[in-house]
Structure formats: structure tokens, C-alpha cells
Amino acid sequence: MLEAINVSIALPDRSQKSLFGRAPLLKIIQNVDLTVQRGKVVGIVGESGSGKSTIGRSLLGLYRPVTGKVMLEGKDLASLSKEELREARFKIQMIFQDSQSSLNPRRKIIDILADPFVANGRASRSDARNKALALLERVGMRPAHGDRYPHQLSGGQRQRIGIARAIALEPSYIVADEIVSGLDVSVQAQVLALLRQLRAENSLGMVFISHDLSVVRTLCDDVVVMQHGRVVEAGECTRVFNDPRNDYTKKLLRAVPLPVVEKDWLDESRRCDSEAVTELPSAVAAMR
């Protein structure tokens, strides 16, 4: 189990930095609780500035919480020594939003995928190469792609490499930060299908950070809704999406444009009707 218990995180606010002295700390997230079980996908949704990426990175021990703690299988990440943290991190990996900057532009794909084995003494050079080729295949790419450089791949392909690297050391948990936000729907569907498949095969616990409620709805078991650094609502997806209790969650759900024609969707009067979203499935049924 990977948990965040009452985590608050403050980061220096560079925009307020004076010429001398340190930048003042700005609370990015406050008192956030989050639990990820193996085999489950937890979605974190929120708009820009809600702190959803920050909580994701703090789960990896990249930020030290001001209050609260991040627990990995019963151990507080902050209490670990540098070496223990290094070991613990093998259990949690990350997939990044920007597939371009997450891959070293000067290394070939095959090396990027073989490095995790070599660097940690898990395999010899040639062994690592074979493992890297196996990873390529698992994420649906051809061995020939291994000889390319990241900029020679498409965005969707690069994102697959990011996924392959994240699962290389067989982690128990993965944090995926907005990994489909730059992709076309057709490519997005492929990447999401891959995630689903991996999660089933490895009983991975996954944190899926996204601003896209539709994607979260289709992929996740649980969802956490964040606003201004706080959790405003959390629970099973089915419950939160069908019966949102928080006003902000309701507002968010209402604002999502479904690919369904509704002439009055933009009307102010309709926006006050909190039943709208839950009624939609029947609206779809009527159209068919």
C-alpha cells in the first residue's frame, strides 16, 4: 500500500523572491490523504494550480512534506536513509507528461531502456539489451525502434517508451502525470489500453493524474478531486461521478462537454440543475 497521510507541501515561490534572501514558501498542497492499493488505479483530477502534480511527485519522495508523511508499505519515506530511499524508489516509478523532456535526447531508445538494469547491477550489458528488447515488445513497439533517438519517434511512441522505462524494474506502484494530455484521441486510446493491460498483468497500483475527467472515469477505480491544493471529494469513481456531493465536483462534471448534441447545454438555467450529468446516459439512449 502507498499512502499519503495528511501531507502538506510548501515550495519556494520564486516570483516573490527578493534580490537578497530566500524566496518565501508557498503552500502548494494542504492536508492531503490518499491511498493506493496494488492493482487499483486512483485518479487525481483538478484544474491547473490545484496541486495534483505536486502530490504525485511527493508520493515519489521528490518533495519533503511540511506536515504528514508518505508511507510505502508501512515505512515512512522521510525516515529512510538516502540509500534506503534509493532502494524504496525501485518500487515506485513515474511516467511524465512531457515525453520529449523525459527521455535523454542523446541516448538511443535501447540504451534508455537498458540503463535501469545496468545501473543497478541487475543484468550484464548484453542481458540488459535483451531485457530492453523485451520491454519494447511489451509496450507494442518493434525492435527496430530501439536504434532510434527520442526525437525520431512520435509523441505516442515516446510515451510508450516512458511507460516501458517505468515498468523496467517491476515496480509495485506507478505515478502517471498527465501522460495523455498532449496526445490525439486515437493515440490516447492506445496508450490507455496499454496501461490497462499492464495493470492487469502486474497488479500495479497506479496514480493517474489528469485534468480530463472522461479519461479518469474510464480508467480509474477511485478518484480524488482537488482544488486549490486541497482534496474536496474522494471516493470510488462510480460514486463520485454519479453522485457528486461537493459543489466544485458538480461544477467540474457539468462543464465537461460530452460528444452529444444538446442545444441548451450552454444555457445558464440548465447549469443550476445539478441532476444534469447523472441524467446524461438516458439522454444518450434517447438519441440512439
Q: Which of residues 89-128 bind other proteins (CB under 8 A)?
A: 89-90, 92-94, 96, 98, 101-107, 115-116, 119-120
Beta carbon nearer to other proteins, 75 or 86: 86
Beta carbon nearer to other proteins, 234 or 250: 250
The least distance separating other proteins from the CB of residue 158, rounded to whole angstroms, comes to: 11
Q: Which stretch binds other proteins (CB under 8 A): 32-40, 70-78, 127-135, 189-197?
A: 189-197
Contact set for other proteins, span 125-144 (CB under 8 A): none
CA atoms within 13 A on the CB side of 200: 7
Contact set for other proteins, span 27-46 (CB under 8 A): none
SS3 breakdown of the chain: % helix, strand, coil, rounded to 5? 45, 20, 35
Q: What angle do CA 18, 20, 23 make, to 5 degrees?
A: 50
Q: Are 170 and 203 in contact (CB under 8 A)?
A: no
From candidates 21, 22, 266, 275, binder to other proteins by CB under 8 A: 266
Beta carbon nearer to other proteins, 104 or 130: 104
Beta carbon nearer to other proteins, 30 or 249: 249
Place of cell 516512458: 162
Q: Any contact of residue 173 with other proteins (CB under 8 A)? A: no
Q: Any contact of residue 153 with other proteins (CB under 8 A)? A: no
Output the CA torsion sign for 116, 203, 183, 144.
Answer: positive
Q: How does DSSP classify residue 120? A: T
The least distance separating other proteins from the CB of residue 170, rounded to whole angstroms, comes to: 12
Contact set for other proteins, span 214-253 (CB under 8 A): 214-215, 217-219, 237-238, 241, 251-253
Beta bridge partners of 36: 2
C-alpha–C-alpha distance, residues 253 and 251, integer Å: 6
Q: Are 7 and 65 in contact (CB under 8 A)?
A: yes
Count residues binding other proteins (CB under 8 A). 71
Beta carbon nearer to other proteins, 67 or 75: 75
Closest by CA position to 136, among listed 146, 151, 121: 146
Written as nine digits, the cell of 276 is 444534469
